[in-house]
Structure 1
Amino acid sequence: MRTETTTATAPAATPGPGGARRRGPATAVLIAEIRLFLREPGSLFWVFVFPSLLLVILGFVPAFRETRDDLGGRRVIDLYVPISILLAMITAGIQAMPPVLTAYRERGILRRIVEITPFGAASQALEQAASGSWPGWIHLGTVALWTVATGVAASRMFRWQ
Structure 2
Amino acid sequence: MKPWHIILILILCFLCFLTGRHTKKAEVGFICKTDTFIRVDTIRDSIPYPVYETVIQTVPELFPVYITLGGDTIREPVYIPVPITQKEYRTEDYRLSISGYKPNLDYIEIYRKTEQITKVVDRRFGIGITAGYGIGRNGLSPYVGIGGFYRIW
Question: What TM-score, normalized to structure 1?
Answer: 0.20
More helix by share: 1
- Greater Rg by CA: 2
- Greater RCO, 1 or 2 (C-alpha within 8 Å, sep 6+): 2
More strand by share: 2
